[in-house]
Amino acid sequence: MALLELKGVAKHFGAIEALAGVDLAFQPGEIVGLMGDNGAGKSTLVKIIAGNFPPSAGELFMDGKPVVFGKPIEARQQGIEVVYQDLALCNNLSASANVFLAREDKVRLWPFWLMRDRKMYARAAELFKELKSETRPADLVRQMSGGQRQAVAIARTRLSRAKLLVLDEPTAAISVRQVAEVLDLIRRLRDQDIGVVLISHRMPDVFSVADRVVVLRRGRKVADKPVKATSAEEVTGLITGAIHVA
Amino acid sequence: MLPDGAASQSTAEQPRPLGIEPAIHLRSTSLLHRVLGEQALWVTVAVLLIVAYMSFREPYFASPENFYNISRNFAFIGITALGMTVVIISGGIDLSIGSAVGLTAVAAGVVLQAGLPWYVAILAALGSGVLVGGINGVLIAYVRLPPFVVTLGMMSAARSAAVILSGQRVVSNFGPDGPIFKAIGAGAFLGVSNPVWFLIVLTILLALVLRFTTWGRYVRAIGGNEQAARMTGIPVDRIKVQVYVVAALSAALVAILTIGWTGSAVNSLGTGYELRAIASTVIGGANLLGGEGGAFGALIGSVLLEIIRNGLLMAGVDSNWQGLLVGVFIVLSVSLDRIRGGKRG
């Protein structure tokens, strides 16, 4: 059964049709590359999945049961996490502090909550180890490379045991060596049976990690096929509209 | 595979396989370094050098009486600097802290003058402080007005309220409980004046809260990246209100101690404190852009300012030069930060 299934999901902003009835399913342990030009409807789709706003029409199902997300927290409670391009990390805090931000391991000492830093460091270290990242829990995020920052942002979602992870342009604006690091992180997530949606403009990245590629154009799904059954040329054609439907 | 804390800097390509333990330990900094923070450490060194030099030049400088005086003077600024530190770490600013001292002092003074008990007067000071900080906080957090604008307005409004409440007079006939206030503000314990004890205890308390509690971490997170803090589910708006209330409460405490010490409540009390409190925190290593700062930094910053003021007085320099120095120090400590590589902000 699909982890998350979208049936006829559409979204209108006034007269503008951002999404025109999209059917899509995400499976556990599968990486789906979501591609499309600017304005194709990718971010609208992500925002619906993340619970930022409801669709104008259509339904969402998790494990076969219909779900309605009114707020992002409701989507998160169902196990859907989005890692945004700007990562939403606090540069002035440690990796561990960021992983546990607002979910600290704590004990009550009225009127405060005392943090159990050692426990959190140890847990963060475990998470980074699982992700095979060299990130150290006590290091400040501002001292980290782009790849390490991604690891911190992804470790955050591991803490909440996310089932479906949406990564928004995780390889934009980082060095070549770090790209490889991030792609490894993504494979590791798949190995742990997490469903991954990879939004990317970078064709080589999608083709090296994704199992399936979905292309949106002008709010419509124009392709949804295994990566092995397509090519970079075909996907480029679909994105630009040179090829209409695959 | 977790690299060792110290070694991996140079051997990043071949991380040595080690357990979790080495990674848990913080970077190789001394305890003093970590407690004080880098800038506060250097300011402490500067303070010690100035004290040594002044003691050598002016024997009276090192006398117990003068130290008693200096310490009490910086205690008042230091306590407001602690409140200011919390605001600055959260990425805000509080220009109304001096006016809050004036208003809360007059509030307590009027209550004492009416013959009411000392604890009612203390409640009046703290209550008016909560009101000032609460209004600041709500306008900043919920109405989303810039802290600079809100607290600038409050700076004027609270001062005006102090003048009106005092009837433009010095409130000094403190009634039956006046002596109790005097004992609190002018008293001493083990040869150290009470305000200094308050400063020491509050500095330690704030340092612990910032380091070990979720509240401290959330304040830092808000100052570091407010949007991120909001997205993770930190109650950003509520904490912002609390931050401004804490600042105003620090002002109320200074008011209580000052009117006890001087035996009168003047509506101009605290004028210019906001600048000296900001200067103290910034000299102590706080970042005006938010996210960085510490309790010991605020304390040592206020010590430096007062030592220099006192030293100038003793050297026969007009005390009005102090303002110029404060200005120079603010600019200097911020620009030093830039020169060091701008790794903050």
Single-letter code of the amino acid located at A214: V
| Chain A neighbors of B213, CB-CB under 8 A | 109, 112-115
Q: Could you give the number of structural domains in chain A?
A: 1
Give pLDDT tens digits for B251-287. 999 999 999 999 999 999 999 999 999 999 999 999 9
Residue B316: partners with Cβ closer than 8 Å, 6 or more residues away: none
Stretch among A90-99, B5-14, B29-38, B231-240 having the lowest mean pLDDT: B5-14
CA A164 from centre of chain:
7
Write down the pLDDT at residue B317. 81
A96 in a structural domain: no
Contact B90, B140 (CB under 8 A): no
- Residue A146 within a domain: no
Q: How far apart are CA B230 and CA A88, in angstroms?
A: 9
Q: pLDDT band for position B133 (50/70/90)?
A: very high
Residue A142 lies in a domain: no
H/E segment holding residue A9: strand A4-13
The pLDDT assigned to B239 comes to 98
Whether residue A56 lies inside any domain: the answer is: yes
Instruction: Give me chain B's average pLDDT, please.
Output: 86
Alpha-helix runs per DSSP H in chain A: 42-50, 72-77, 95-99, 117-130, 146-159, 176-191, 203-209, 232-240
| Closest Cβ opposite residue B213 in set A89, A115, A122 | A115
Residue B6: its chain A contacts at CB < 8 A?
Answer: none
Please spell the DSSP secondary structure of A197-230, one letter per residue: EEE-S-HHHHHHH-SEEEEEETTEEEEEEEGGG-
- Looking at CA atoms only, how far is residue A71 from chain B in angstroms? 11
Strand order in the sheet with A212-217: A80-83, A164-168, A195-199, A31-36, A212-217, A220-226
pLDDT category of residue B37 using cuts at 50, 70 and 90:
low
Which of A40-49, B18-27, B206-215 comes out lowest in average pLDDT? Answer: B18-27
Give the residue ranges of chain A where pLDDT is below 70.
246
ipTM for the predicted complex comes to 0.84
pLDDT of residue A159: 87
Give the pLDDT confidence score for residue B231 in this predicted structure.
84
Percentages helix, strand, coil for chain B, rounded to the nearest 5?
Answer: 70, 0, 25
Residue A95 lies in a domain: no
Identify the pLDDT of residue B3: 40
> What tens digit of pLDDT does each residue of A190-204 get?
999 999 999 998 899
Residues on chain A touching B234 (C-beta within 8 angstroms)? 101-102
Which of A143-152, A215-224, B56-65, B198-207 tops mean pLDDT?
B198-207
CATH number for the domain spanning A210: value is: 3.40.50.300
**Parent domain of A60:** 4-90+161-240
Q: What is the mean pLDDT of residues B333-344?
A: 60
Q: Is residue A170 part of a domain?
A: yes
Q: What is the per-residue pLDDT for B340?
A: 56
* Angle of helix B321-339 versus helix B295-314 axis, rounded to 10: 140
Residues of B with CB under 8 A from a CB of A: 1-3, 5, 8, 12, 15, 20, 23-27, 209, 212-215, 217-218, 220-221, 223-225, 227-229, 231-234, 291-292, 343-344
Judge whether A197 lies within some domain.
yes
Arithmetic mean of pLDDT, B178-207: 93
Q: What is the DSSP letter of A76?
A: H
pLDDT for the residue B21: 37
Which of A91, A113, A137 has the CB atom closest to B224's CB atom? Answer: A91
CA torsion sign, B10 to B13 to B17 to B22? positive
Chain B residues touching residue A109 (CB < 8 angstroms) = 213
State whether B232 and A128 contact (CB < 8 Å).
Answer: no
Query: For residues A190 and B221, what is the distance between their CA atoms, to the nearest angstrom?
Result: 31
- Rounded to a whole number of angstroms, the distance from the CA of B236 to the nearest CA of chain A is 11
Q: Is residue B168's pLDDT more than 60?
A: yes
Domains of chain B (ranges plus CATH)?
Answer: 37-339 (1.10.3470)
Distance CA B298, CA B285 (A): 8
